[in-house]
Structure 1
Amino acid sequence: MMVLVHGGGWSAGDKAEMNPIKDLLRQDFPNLSIVNINYRLADENNSPYPMQMDDITTIINHLKDNKTHYTISETLGFIGTSAGGHLSLLWSYAFDVHEKVGMVCSIVGPTNLTDPAYLNNTNPDLQQLLDLFGVNPTTAFLEKVSPYHQVAATSPPTILFYGGQDPLIPTTQGIYMRDKLQSMGVTHEFTLYPNAGHGWVGLELLDTWLKLKGFINNHL
């Protein structure tokens, strides 16, 4: 069963944005159950955490309780883009108490909110998104909401894709996550497209799908 988690800076977006990935999955994995989800969007009064983690947990528990009705397995995969990549990694690393996640994919997802590139940024649009987690949050809280600080040796196989020219996601978000996975001994793959931004098309997109398809075949 593959769970798709859309992006939108935790405060916008809709599951319809994941339809291209859903269509590719249906084409190449006809026997795979696909769950394309929405979650409550954050605003100045509602932090993404723990609200959006709770929403994913509610959905997963509902599916688990009704697995015979839906004819699905309990083994989960996650594919998330941007904020959805962050949510996918964080849920897989810190909230998968029954260890049902077989693999997780982050496409341009934030991984570490304690990264100096974030803490010292001068981008007002980016800062507005980070402020959703609270103005002047504690380091301990930022670590709690960062997949980089929640990953463990028992975390599921992880595949990461990032763009070298992304205005919202510094390359360190992907590179340091890769290094942490490596040091923990977690099965992983990492691709950085040097000239890509916050998403890509053409040959790079084809490359992403071929690598992701192989990863799903191997781990789900």
Structure 2
Amino acid sequence: MKRPKYLFVYLFTIIGFLSCNSDDSNNNNDPEALNPLVAYEEFNISYGNDSDQVFDLYLPANRSSNTKTVILVHGGGWTAGDKADMNAFKDYIKTQMTGYAIVNMNYRLADENNPPYPMQINDITTVVDYLEANENYYSISDDIGFIGTSAGAHLSLLWSYAFDGDSQVEMVCSVVGPTNFTDPAYTESNNPVFEELFNTFGIDATTEFLEDVSPYHRVTSSAPPTILFYGGQDPLIPTTQGTDMRDKLEALNVTHEFTLYPNEGHGWIGLNLLDTTLKLHNFIETYM
């Protein structure tokens, strides 16, 4: 069976660009911290031995130990995609929300010999640990937020709900992310996302395992504020993935926002994209 590759790309309208210092090398062995008054960029910072274990870092000028970091997690069906797919999000935050640091990360991609779970969750943990270990060098807080799309949204929710042992996550955003793999819309159909994650990799899809990898089943009342965006005509992500997650957050009294665009699919442009941008902007400013 040939594995489908699902890439999720957003286009934002960006006004203006922030001038930053740039460095392609990793200077973290330097005994002195970076100058927090000056914006700074560093690309392909390695956090592991695999070539996919790299991230880009964007630090704003005039940052301090109170500066929080938004981590971007790309989609691609757990088997494809790249941090470049999140550049529109990065550019928007960098130019329109200039008080935040940004991490745009790659993670190891799954194949028949390397299942996505827990490998990709472990990669997120390693990045978060790296940022915390270097917070004085970079002059940033250890508080973080996540924006994920598609498979990256699933990973962002799952990490925020089940693996944030130090309660560092202050908000998490899912844009068309899978949330519940016990949903009959997956288990009782030939949904390609379900087949991609489980059938292709030969994982024993027991109910216990499906619940273990489902944000819906791992969320608790202590979950961070969550904002969800879904398309009513999405061929990959059933609408119930969003509405059921919304209802679970409501039952747990977790702060959340939910938007369903009835006529949109696995991504959108135009006025609905503008609506997403404004809602996400306000949510980040409110909870981070």
Given the two structures, how large is their TM-score scaled by the length of structure 2? 0.74
Counterpart position of 2:229:
161
Aligned residues of 1:163 and 1:194 also touching (Cα < 8 A): yes
For 2:287 and 2:118, locate their aligned partners in 1 and report how far apart those are by CA, in whole Å. Answer: 28
Shift of 1:123: 3.9
- Quick one: higher RCO (CA 8 Å, sep 6+), 1 or 2? 1
Where 1:61 maps in the other structure, the secondary structure is helix
1:35 aligns with 2:108: no
Moved over 6 A (4+): none
Aligned residues of 2:148 and 2:173 also touching (Cα < 8 A): yes
1:7 aligns with 2:75: yes
Q: Could you tell which deviates more after superposition, 128-137 or 143-152?
A: 128-137
Counterpart position of 1:17:
85
Counterpart position of 1:208:
276
**Counterparts in 2 of 1:57-76, with a 5 A limit?**
57-76=125-144
The answer to which structure has the higher helix fraction is 1
**Identical-pair percentage:** 64
Counterpart amino acid of residue 57 in structure 1: T
Q: Could you tell which deviates more after superposition, 207-216 or 135-144?
A: 135-144
Query: How large is the Cα RMSD of the aligned pairs?
Result: 1.2
Aligned residues of 2:179 and 2:216 also touching (Cα < 8 A): yes
Counterpart amino acid of residue 36 in structure 1: N
Deviations 1:80-99 (A, max 9, x none): 00000000000000000000
Where 1:2 maps in the other structure, the secondary structure is strand
Counterpart amino acid of residue 103 in structure 1: M
Aligned residues of 2:198 and 2:205 also touching (Cα < 8 A): no
Change over 3 Å in CA distance of 1:125–1:112 after alignment to 2: closer
For 2:89 and 2:110, locate their aligned partners in 1 and report how far apart those are by CA, in whole Å. Answer: 24
For 1:62 and 1:122, locate their aligned partners in 2 and report how far apart those are by CA, in whole Å. Answer: 39
Aligned residues of 2:192 and 2:236 also touching (Cα < 8 A): no
Q: Could you tell which deviates more after superposition, 136-145 or 110-119?
A: 136-145
Counterpart amino acid of residue 156 in structure 1: P
Q: Could you tell which deviates more after superposition, 129-138 or 197-206?
A: 129-138
For 2:191 and 2:254, locate their aligned partners in 1 and report how far apart those are by CA, in whole Å. Answer: 33
1:150 aligns with 2:150: no
For 2:237 and 2:264, locate their aligned partners in 1 and report how far apart those are by CA, in whole Å. Answer: 11
Aligned residues of 2:231 and 2:264 also touching (Cα < 8 A): yes
Counterpart position of 2:240:
172
Aligned residues of 2:112 and 2:201 also touching (Cα < 8 A): no
User: Which is higher, the Rg of structure 1 or of structure 2?
Assistant: 2
Aligned residues of 1:121 and 1:127 also touching (Cα < 8 A): no
Shift of 1:31: 1.6
Where 2:79 maps in the other structure, the secondary structure is coil
List alignment gaps of at least 5 residues for structure 2.
1-68
Counterpart position of 2:181:
113
Aligned residues of 1:42 and 1:132 also touching (Cα < 8 A): no
Shift of 1:131: 2.5
Aligned residues of 1:5 and 1:88 also touching (Cα < 8 A): yes
For 1:68 and 1:169, locate their aligned partners in 2 and report how far apart those are by CA, in whole Å. Answer: 40
List alignment gaps of at least 5 residues for structure 1.
none
Aligned residues of 1:5 and 1:81 also touching (Cα < 8 A): yes
Shift of 1:126: 5.0
Aligned residues of 1:49 and 1:133 also touching (Cα < 8 A): no
Counterpart position of 2:287:
219
1:195 aligns with 2:271: no
Counterpart position of 2:32:
none
Deviations 1:160-204 (A, max 9, x none): 000000000000000000000000000000000000000000100
For 1:172 and 1:140, locate their aligned partners in 2 and report how far apart those are by CA, in whole Å. Answer: 20
Given the two structures, how large is their TM-score scaled by the length of structure 1? 0.97
Where 1:78 maps in the other structure, the secondary structure is strand
Where 2:211 maps in the other structure, the secondary structure is helix
Counterpart position of 1:78:
146
